[in-house]
Amino acid sequence: MTTPSADTQYYHHGRFKVAGGVIPDAITAYRTYGDPSKPCIVFPTCYGGRLDNQGLLGQDYMVGQGKVLDPEKYYIVTFALFSNGESSSPSNTPVPYNGPYFPEISYEDNMHHAVLTKKLGQTKIFSVIGFSMGGMQAYYWPVMYPEMVERTVVLCGSARTSPHNQCMIEGPKIALLASKDFDNGHYKDTPQFGIRAFARVYSAWAYGQAWYREHQHLYGGDYPDLNSFIREQWEESFVRTWDANDMITLINTWQKGDVSKVRHGGDLRACLADITASALVMPCKTDLYFPPEDSAIEVSYMRNARLFVIDSVWGHIAGGGGCAQDMDVIKTEVNKFFGLSQG
C-alpha cells in the first residue's frame, strides 16, 4: 500500500461570520487526492487531527492506494477544522482576533461548502466520512446540504455531544484552563504544565481497555510502563504541535455539537429522520467517548442507516487508525457500503 502526498492549499473566504462573531480573513486549509472527475469523498479532521500529519493524528491513515479511501477510485477532499492550527485559528489569526480573542466556532461554521463548490467545482458528494469530530461533521453535511450528499459514514462519532461526553471534555479542558502557565490564554511561551495535564486527562478516555488487557505488547514493547507511553504519545504530540488556545477553541466546538439545532430546534429524532442520505454508523464496542448505545439510538431515528459495532479493545481510536486489524474491518464494511465487492 502506498500513501499519496499532497500539498496543503488555502481558501480565503474574506470576512466570515462565525458563531462567536467574525473572522476578518477566514482561511480554510485543505488537501485533495485523486482525479476530480471521480466520485467525491469529503474527509474532515478530528480533534487533534492535522492535514500535515503532525502531532496526534493525521489524515493519511485513511487515504492511499489500498486503504479505505483510495485516490485511484475517488476524489478525496480533506478539510482542516477551524482552530486546528492550519485553518484559521487563535494561533494564526492577527490582531484583534488573535489568541484568547478568537471568536467561538460552531460545527456549522466548519461546513466548507464554498471551498468544495466555488473552488473545486464539486456539486455532489459521493460520501462524507469522518472519525470522532470528523464523524460529527459527517452528520452535519447531510443535514445542511441534503441535495448534495449521497451517503455518510460516521466512525466513533455522534449527532449530538451527549451530557456524558460533555462532562468528559470538561476534565482535560479545565486542567489546561486552570494551569499556572495558561494565564487566561495570554501566555508568552508554551504552557507546558497545562498542555501536559490536558494530554494526561485526555489519554485516559481514548484507549478503551487496550492498555489494561494487553499492556505494552500493543506497542511493540517500545514502552516499559504506562507513564512512558503517555509522555511520548500524548504529552509530546500536544506540546510539540498544538497551541493551547487552539486546543480550547476546538474543544468548545466539540462540546457544543448538536446537529438538531440546525433544523427542528433541538429535536434530534425529527432531525435525523429528515436525512435522505444513506448512512453507515460505526462505533467501537469499548469507546468511552461515543458509546455504541448512543449510536444505536441515532440509527433507530434514521430512515436509511445501518449500525456496525467494531468489536475491539482499542476504544475510541479504533476508528482513528490505532489498530491495523480494526482498519481492515472498517475498510471491509465501508467498501460494502460504497458498493465495492473488494479492495
| Least reliable range by pLDDT among 3-17, 255-269, 291-305 | 3-17
Q: Grid coordinates standing for 107? A: 460545527
**Could you give the number of structural domains in the chain?**
1
pLDDT tens figures, 138-156: 999 999 999 999 999 999 9
Q: Is 207 domain-assigned?
A: no
Average pLDDT of 260-287? 96
User: Is 271 inside any structural domain?
Assistant: yes
- Residue 1 within any structural domain of the chain: no
pLDDT at 208: 59
pLDDT at 214: 53
Higher pLDDT, 5 or 129: 129
Percentage, residues of the chain above pLDDT 70: 93
Domain that holds residue 131: 9-165+253-337
**193 lies in a domain?**
no
Say yes or no to pLDDT of 163 above 50. Answer: yes
Residue 286 pLDDT greater than 50, yes or no? yes
How high is the pLDDT of residue 6? Answer: 85
- What digits encode the pLDDT tens for the residues 2-31? 455 689 999 999 999 999 999 999 999 999
Assigned domain for 173 exists: no
Percent of the chain with pLDDT over 90: 84
Nearest to 163 by CA among 81, 95, 257, 296: 257
pLDDT at site 1: 47
For residue 142, give every residue at least 6 positions away whose Cβ sits within 8 Å of its Cβ, in sequence order, or none.
128, 149, 152, 275, 276, 277, 279
Q: pLDDT at position 91, please?
A: 98
β-strand pairing of 21-33 with 9-18: antiparallel
Given pLDDT bands bounded at 50, 70 and 90, which one contains residue 212?
very low
Dist. CA 55–CA 36, nearest whole Å? 29
Reported confidence tier of residue 343, pLDDT bands at 50, 70, 90: very low
Alpha carbons within 13 A on the beta-carbon side of 315: 13
Provide the pLDDT confidence category of residue 118 given band limits of 50, 70 and 90: very high
Cα(98)–Cα(230) distance, integer angstroms: 30
SS (H, E, C) the chain: CECCCCCCEEEEEEEEEECCEEEEEEEEEEEEECCCCCCEEECCCCCCECCCCCCCECCCCCECECCCECCCCCEEEEECCCCCCCCCCCCCCCCCCCHHHCCCCCCHHHCCHHHHHHHCCCCCECEEEEECHHHHHHHHHHHHCCCCECEEEEECCCCECCHHHHHHHHHHHHHHHCCCCCHHHCCCCCCHHHHHHHHHHHHHHHCCCHHHHHHHHHHCCCCCCHHHHHHHHHHHHHHHHCCHHHHHHHHHHHHCCEHHHCCHHHCHHHHHHCCCCEEEEECECCCCCCCHHHHHHHHHHCCCEEECCECCCCHHHHHCCCCHHHHHHHHHHHHHHCCCCCC
Under a CB-based contact definition with an 8 Å cutoff, are residues 127 and 280 in contact?
Answer: no
- Of 215 and 329, the structure prediction assigns the larger pLDDT to 329
| pLDDT of amino acid 5 | 62
With 70 as the cut, is the pLDDT of residue 135 above it? yes
In a domain, 234, yes or no: no
pLDDT at 191: 98
| 127 bridge partner residues | 41
Strand bridging mode 278-282 / 151-155: parallel
- At 154, which CATH number? 3.40.50.1820
Respond yes or no on whether the N-terminal peptide bond of residue 96 is cis (omega within 30° of 0).
Answer: yes
Across the chain, mean pLDDT equals: 92
Q: Kindly state whether residue 59 falls inside one of the protein's structural domains.
A: yes
**Does the residue 155 lie in any domain?**
yes
- The whole-number pLDDT of residue 206 equals 72
CA dist 83 and 103 (Å) reads 10
Q: What's the pLDDT at 230?
A: 86
**pTM as predicted:** 0.94
Bigger pLDDT: 317 vs 259 = 259
